[in-house]
Structure 1
Amino acid sequence: MHVDIVPVGEVSAQVKREASDGLRSVYDCEVSMHEPQSIPAGAYDGDRDQYRAEEFIDLARRVGSGGKNIAITPKDLFYRRRNYVFGLAYLGGSGSVISTYRLQTSSDGGFSNRSAGEIFSQRVRKEVVHEVGHTLGLEHCDNKRCVMNFSPTVRQVDVKEVSLCGSCQRNVL
């Protein structure tokens, strides 16, 4: 499998590296880094002061060169009536997106003794692996430690591992 990471907007080298490393470690896949892209026209919703996640997925699908393509952006994303999303993917699709905007809180609420930088890096890895998992056909998992567990808060993201549980591994690999 080949995953193309599509940076959209100003994405740091650290975020690109963490995303790439996370995908390689969990899916043992080839990862490429696409040229940075501009924010998609029409993605911004002025009433919400947020960006439509599906526009970033469409961009990743259009310009990405992988069988799976994931956009990464620092912009605050939403989807339909949800207040925000960390990421979005269509089940079995070729495109997905994550936003680092809400992953950058300074602490994990005392869950660990890791630095803010380490916590952020782990969140990026988890969200990238999670969204690409959806493109591989994985749905949300009930196992709170599985990376495919639905996590609407950063606290719940922090509880997850950067790996698939046995059941999800059997369904994808």
Structure 2
Amino acid sequence: MIGAILEVGMLVDVVPVGDVPARVKREASAGLRAVYDCDVTVHEPQPIPDGAFDANRNQYRAEDFIELASRIGSGEKNIAVTPKDLFYRKRNYVFGLAYLDGNGSVVSTYRLQTSSDGGFSERNSEDIFDDRVRKEIVHEIGHTFGLEHCDNKRCVMNFSPTVREVDMKEQNLCGTCQRQIL
């Protein structure tokens, strides 16, 4: 398990930004504990950062949420979670964003919500959404540990520009990615 990279008692703080349902906070915490064997706390909810909204795009700047999580989070790693639609630079949207080896990151649930997983299963939309939340949280925190995108399509660190690709990957790190951070 990944616990070897983490100091004993390494803390990841989940920072809800905006109106984040309890279910999302639970799934985020569960995903982090399962994959990284770390301690997880859920911060008090925070308001949307001033100036984060770009009226021309009708979206929010992902970097502003990372800055907020880094500044107010109480963990060695901090991840903002928001229902707002995020973008980064010229990309149309992002599910999440993190800086390699940084202490802050963000995941948006906005585009993870859909009634379909592209026909991969007969699961209900809530279960599919829960899986996506866990995968994206684990993915972004992986970047903060220095992991880059992985070519293994099943690895949680695989680049997934669409929900179909998120659905195809697993919640766990592949052996190669595990070895990189052990």
The TM tier, using the shorter chain, reads: over 0.9
Aligned to 2:5: none
Match of 1:21 among 30, 37, 47: 30
Number of aligned positions between the proteins:
173
Sequence identity percentage: 75
TM-score by length of 1: 0.99
Give ranges in structure 2 of 5+ residues lacking alignment.
Answer: 1-9
1:117 aligns with 2:126: yes
- SS class of match (1:54): helix
- SS class of match (1:164): coil
Structure 1 consecutive aligned stretches of length 4 or more whose deviation exceeds 2 Å: none
Aligned to 2:87: 78
What letter matches 2:68 in structure 1?
L
- Taking the aligned partners of 2:78 and 2:122, their CA distance within structure 1 comes to 33
Aligned to 1:7: 16
RMSD of Structure 2 on Structure 1 (CA): 0.4
Deviation string for 1:56-92 (max 9, x for gaps)?
0000000000000000000000000000000000000
- Taking the aligned partners of 1:12 and 1:5, their CA distance within structure 2 comes to 13
Deviation string for 1:73-127 (max 9, x for gaps)?
0000000000000000000000000000000011101011211000000000000
Q: How does 1:1-173 map to 2 (within 5 A)?
A: 1-173=10-182
- Using the TM superposition, give the Cα deviation of residue 159 of structure 1 relative to its aligned residue in structure 2, in angstroms: 0.2
- Using the TM superposition, give the Cα deviation of residue 171 of structure 1 relative to its aligned residue in structure 2, in angstroms: 1.1
- Taking the aligned partners of 2:127 and 2:178, their CA distance within structure 1 comes to 25
